[in-house]
Amino acid sequence: MAEIPLIQVRGLYKRFGRQEVFKGLSLDIMRGEILAVVGRSGTGKSVFLKHLIGLLRPDRGQILVEGQDIHQGGSRHLAQVREHFGMLFQGGALFDSLTVEDNIAFPLREKTRMSADEIHVAVAEILKDVGLEGVEGKFPDQLSGGMRKRVALARALVLHPEIVLFDEPTTGLDPILVQSIQHLIADTQAHFHYTAVVVSHEIPKIFEIATRVAMLHEGVILEVDTAARFQCSSNPAVQQFIAGRLEGPLTPT
């Protein structure tokens, strides 16, 4: 029997005014994989993540998580669906006025009945998992860019979500930190066994950690395959995008 996808995106359409972002986009996301979503700037990759977590609603189409339409059942059902998700936003979205400990503890205080001592222990453990022991009392502006990304990842993981969405997690980092954060994603995914969806411009580095790669182009998934087969695609648009060539079917905008 074929494995049932954890997330099924079916015939997604979305328009903002005159701009049509999705034109019948469909994609299966399998349990336990690291799916990299790539494509040119402005193609709707971040918008896609916001649809997965229910921050945006499609004009048409369905998003099914474990077979259930996330928008069938009202706001309470959607809130329950979101409990399966963690999200690492592009800028980290840390609260500048809160310490590292309070940033990571925020979802625990909001969504659990853990005691202050239990929360303190949980924060220390997740910081150890992301290689940041002993920084609980620091504020975000006292941390390097790479450290802030690690704190944001710790906050996304502290509730042990089943699915974690990464919106360009290495934006603004130097090549060494890019490599470090990508390997951290792979290591924590192997440790916590979550399903990862990673929007990335890091070509070809993202292929090192991705189980599969999906390319978003002109409102649909142009191609999806394993990282190895994606790089060997016969599609000229895929090859042009990977190589970053000006010549080809993808015209500069």
Q: Express each pLDDT in 41-56 by its tens digit.
A: 889 999 999 999 999 9
Of 114, 139, 160, the one marking the end of a domain is 160
Residues 231 and 167 in one domain: yes
Residues 144 and 206 in one domain: no
Are the beta carbons of 167 and 89 closer than 8 angstroms?
Answer: yes
pTM over 0.85: yes
Token pair recorded at residue 8: 């099924």
Residue 39's closest CA among 212, 220, 181, 196?
220
Write down the pLDDT at residue 80. 87
Residues 61 and 127 in one domain: no
Are the beta carbons of 220 and 48 closer than 8 angstroms?
Answer: no
pLDDT digits over 179-206, tens only? 888 999 999 999 999 999 999 988 889 9
**C-beta contacts of 73-80 below 8 A and 24+ residues apart:** 78/54
Residues 16 and 72 in one domain: yes
What's the pLDDT band for 249 if we cut at 50, 70, 90?
Answer: confident
- Judged against a pLDDT cut of 60, whether residue 1 lies above it is answered with no
Of 115, 133, 160, the one marking the end of a domain is 160
Residues 65 and 172 in one domain: yes
What residue ranges in the chain does DSSP mark as E strands?
A: 7-16, 19-29, 34-38, 60-65, 68-69, 85-88, 163-167, 195-199, 212-217, 220-226
- Judged against a pLDDT cut of 60, whether residue 36 lies above it is answered with yes
- The rounded distance, in Å, linking the Cα atoms of 145 and 163 is 24
Strands 68-69 and 85-88: unpaired
Residues 154 and 170 in one domain: no
- The rounded distance, in Å, linking the Cα atoms of 53 and 30 is 16
Handedness of CA 232, 237, 242, 244 (dihedral sign): positive
In the chain, the percentage of residues whose pLDDT exceeds 90 is 63
Distances, alpha carbon 69 to alpha carbons 24, 41, 51, in Å: 16, 29, 12
Residue 92's closest CA among 195, 186, 181?
181
Residues 30 and 152 in one domain: no
Query: H-helix or E-strand containing 56?
Result: none
DSSP 8-state symbol, 243: H
Write down the pLDDT at residue 92. 65
- The rounded distance, in Å, linking the Cα atoms of 176 and 136 is 24
Residue 156, SS3 per DSSP: helix
Residues 121 and 226 in one domain: no
pLDDT digits over 139-157, tens only? 998 988 888 888 999 999 9
Q: What is the CATH number of the domain that holds 208?
A: 3.40.50.300
- Could you list the residue range(s) of the whole structural domain that residue 117 is in? 93-160
Of 160, 180, 204, the one marking the end of a domain is 160
Residues 80 and 198 in one domain: yes
pLDDT digits over 72-124, tens only? 877 888 888 888 999 888 766 888 899 999 999 998 998 888 999 999 999 99
- Judged against a pLDDT cut of 90, whether residue 174 lies above it is answered with no
Domain count, the chain: 2
Residues 68 and 180 in one domain: yes
Residues 182 and 119 in one domain: no
Write down the pLDDT at residue 159. 92
Distances, alpha carbon 245 to alpha carbons 208, 248, 252, in Å: 21, 7, 10
Residues 79 and 180 in one domain: yes
Write down the pLDDT at residue 75. 81
